Amino acid sequence: MKKGVIVGIFLLVLGVAAFSLWFTTKPAEGNRDSFVASHSPVLGVINAPVTIVEFFDPACEACAAMSPYVKETLATHPEGVRLVLRYAPFHGDVSVEAIEILEAAREQRLFERVLTAFFRNHPSWAGHGFSPEKGKATLWKIALASGLNEQRARAYIAGNKTKKVIAEDLKQIKELNIQGTPTFYVNGKKLIDLGPEQLDQMVSAALKESK
C-alpha cells in the first residue's frame, strides 16, 4: 500500500475518533432544559421555547449591571423566553446570605422583588469597603423594606433547604468549570462574549431555531 494512502487512512481514523470523543463529551447544546435544575427560580413563561440559564452571584457587580438587560429580553419576548437562575456564591459569606434571603423571599413569593432591590441597592451592601457583617445587615434591611417577613424568613433559612440548593448549584458549577459570573447559557449553548448585545443576538438566533 502506498505511503500516501496509509497516511490518508490514518488521518481519517484519527478524525473519526476525535469526532466521537467530542460528540460524547460535549454539552447538550440546543436543549432548552440543559443545566436547568428542578429547584431553580424561574422568571417568565415556564414552557417558553428559549431558556436562558444564568449562573449568578447577587454580590457580583457585573450581574447587577446585566440584570436590566436580561429583564428587557424577557419583556421583549414574553411568550418566547424564560430565565432560570442558578446560584454561584463566589463572594463568600455575603453572597451566601443574599442567596439564603432570596430563597426565603421565594417561599413568600417575593423573589423577584427582593432580587431587584438587592441589585438596585448593590453599592450599599456589596462594595469592596464593606465588611461581610455590615453587608449582611444591609441585605436584611433591603429585604424587609421589600416586604419580607423576617421571622418567617429566618425560620425558613434555619431549615437548611437553602444550603441544599446552594450545594447542588455549586456541584453543577464545578462540572461546568464555571470561573466567573454572570455565566449565561441559551438553550444549552454558552454565551462566550459577555454583553447585552451578544446575549440579545444569541436569544434571537435561538428563537428563530425554535420556529
Distance CA 184, CA 192 (A): 8
Residue 129 is predicted with a pLDDT of 74
Q: How confident is the model at residue 82 (pLDDT cuts 50, 70, 90)?
A: very high
Residue 108, sorted as left (phi over 0), alpha (psi -120 to 50) or beta, turns out to be alpha
170, exposed or middle or buried, with CB in 10 Å at 0-12, 13-18, 19+? Answer: middle
Query: Is the pLDDT assigned to residue 25 strictly greater than 80?
Result: no
pLDDT digits (tens, 9 = 90+) for 48-68: 999 999 999 999 999 999 999
Instruction: Report the percent of the chain where pLDDT is more than 90.
Output: 79
Query: Is the pLDDT assigned to residue 211 strictly greater than 90?
Result: no
Residue 80, sorted as left (phi over 0), alpha (psi -120 to 50) or beta, turns out to be alpha
Provide the CB-side half-sphere exposure for 13 (13 A, CA): 6
pLDDT digits (tens, 9 = 90+) for 148-196: 999 999 999 999 899 999 999 999 999 999 999 999 999 999 999 999 9
Query: Is the pLDDT assigned to residue 2 strictly greater than 50?
Result: no
Average pLDDT, the chain: 87
Residue 51 is predicted with a pLDDT of 97
Question: b/e string for 27-53 if b means 16 or more Cβ within 10 A?
Answer: eeeeebebbbbeebbebbeeebbbbbb
Residue 30 is predicted with a pLDDT of 53
Residue 130 is predicted with a pLDDT of 76
